[in-house]
Amino acid sequence: MNLKNNPPKSWHNAFAVYIKPRVLSMITLGFSAGLPYLLVFSTLSAWLRDEGVERSVIGFFSWVSVTYSVKILWSPVVDKVRLPVLTTYLGQRRSWMLLAQLGIMCGLIGMASTDSHTQLTRIAVCAMLVAFCSATQDVSIDAFRIESTQLDYQGAMAAMYVLGYRLALLVAGAGSFYIAEFYNWHIAYYVMASLMSLGVITTLCLSAPPVEQSATAIMKASFLMQVRNAVIHPFTDFFSRQGRLAWLILLLIAIYKMSDVTMGVMANPFYLDLGFNKKDIAEIGKVFGFFMTIVGAALGGVFVARYGVMRPLFFGAIATASTNLLFAFMASAPPTLTILASVISADNLSGGFATAVFIAYLSGLTSSGHTATQYALFSSLMTFPAQLLGGFSGLIVDRFGYIDFFVYASLIGLPAVFLVAWLWRYEKRSI
């Protein structure tokens, strides 16, 4: 895709992008992608602990989520291998989406029908199946989204995807807790499995992307050709298209979310240490914050449709870094619900905006022949370094305190601001 910015569109045309059928479909696909995540992570941990499973064992279960960070390993298969029968009728992307969704449903049903007291191994195997199929679904949905429409619409599609994903997190988190409270955890997981049908129905109703791959099955080629087409070509293609900018772009991908992720690790402990109770944090931080994230993501989609990618990307980098300073202010001020709501509003608004714009930017970096593999590479690079650095957040707070920590979290966002500015300026000179 071309990353060049077109002349600004009217605000009417920019907002009208949200009524496009392809854009609207991303709500249910985002829901389908977000639903399994908590069910093999924090919700699963709550279920196991509620059933009396030891914390040490629950800790081992958290390793299941690593599957999402290594999906790059099998993304070439999703990109190239044609599934028997399914690909003939649904095309490359939708066939993998459907297979993954059915696998998630089977895994969740398996977890729901298992005794957590006597069959922990079976729960672990089913959770691995859910996580693997969920990561595979992410790869195929990302490829479908990118290939479905032009770059101008990618911000809006990302915003709708974020909306669906966040709704799914509410359902898989708070929804599962409510069901488990009134019935039991097994019923909760049966209900979650049934909700995956939303993704299945959407997948069956959508048409294939206009640039759907029509290549013959990779399995018909020689082994060396398979490796070359599936693994090597996606990377050589990216470097040949981006030239000397390739390493700078990869650096930007690695650092763009660092400020946000680093701060986020300590957000909830910070609220508790200030004296806010869990009810306040849930109502303001989760529910109210959820809506502010959606508003921010929607604005990001509109700005991409009107101004292109680079200008909103630059603004998002500044907003993400600067809002961390609000937390430093909050750490030095008397704790009030008004300040809590204001700071969380600003943080979630900027975070939703930056995320939608950044997804649009990453989408524009892929090429249609290797969409799944290249986007999986970008998304893994986007999260892994940030999560690694975020792991040291607690040590910094213990050593220097919250005020210095949030200033530090803001400062590590500055390299992304300068790098976006440089790439934006380079793009303008090359037009």
Residues shown for the chain: 431
CA distance 356 to 99: 27
| H or E segment to which residue 92 belongs | helix 92-112
Distance (Å) of CA 366 to CA 205, 220, 360:
26, 25, 11
Q: What is the CA radius of gyration of the chain?
A: 22
Distance (Å) of CA 152 to CA 15, 216, 219, 259, 374:
12, 30, 35, 27, 20
CA distance 234 to 239: 9
Among 291, 400, 376, residue whose Cα is nearest residue 341: 291
| H or E segment to which residue 90 belongs | helix 86-90
- Dump strand ranges (E) for 374-414: none
Confidence (pLDDT) at 191: 97
Q: Report the SS3 class of residue 383.
A: helix
Confidence (pLDDT) at 327: 92
The first and second tokens of residue 386, run together, are 């940030």
Q: Report the SS3 class of residue 196.
A: coil
Confidence (pLDDT) at 2: 47
pLDDT (tens digit, 0 to 9) for every residue of the chain, 431 residues total? 445 555 565 666 666 777 777 788 899 999 999 999 889 877 787 788 778 887 667 767 767 777 887 888 888 888 888 899 999 999 989 999 999 999 999 999 999 999 988 899 999 999 999 999 999 999 999 889 888 866 667 778 877 888 899 899 888 877 887 888 788 999 999 999 999 999 999 999 998 876 654 444 444 445 456 556 656 777 788 888 888 888 999 999 989 988 887 887 677 667 778 887 766 766 776 677 778 888 898 898 888 888 888 999 999 999 999 999 999 999 988 888 888 888 988 998 998 899 889 988 988 888 766 777 787 788 878 877 776 776 677 778 888 888 998 999 999 999 999 999 999 988 877 66
Among 263, 268, 258, 252, residue whose Cα is nearest residue 325: 263
Residues 6+ apart with CB under 8 A from 194: none
The first and second tokens of residue 90, run together, are 């649904």
Confidence (pLDDT) at 189: 96
Residues 6+ apart with CB under 8 A from 333: 339
- DSSP 3-state percent helix, strand, coil across the chain (nearest 5): 85, 0, 15
The first and second tokens of residue 109, run together, are 């049903």
Sign of CA dihedral 379, 384, 385, 391: positive
Confidence (pLDDT) at 175: 82
Inter-residue contact 36 to 108 (CB < 8 Å): yes
Plot region of 243 (φ>0 → left; ψ -120 to 50 → alpha; else → beta): left
CA distance 308 to 423: 14
Task: Supply the pTM of this predicted model.
Answer: 0.67
Sign of CA dihedral 367, 371, 373, 375: positive
Confidence (pLDDT) at 215: 43
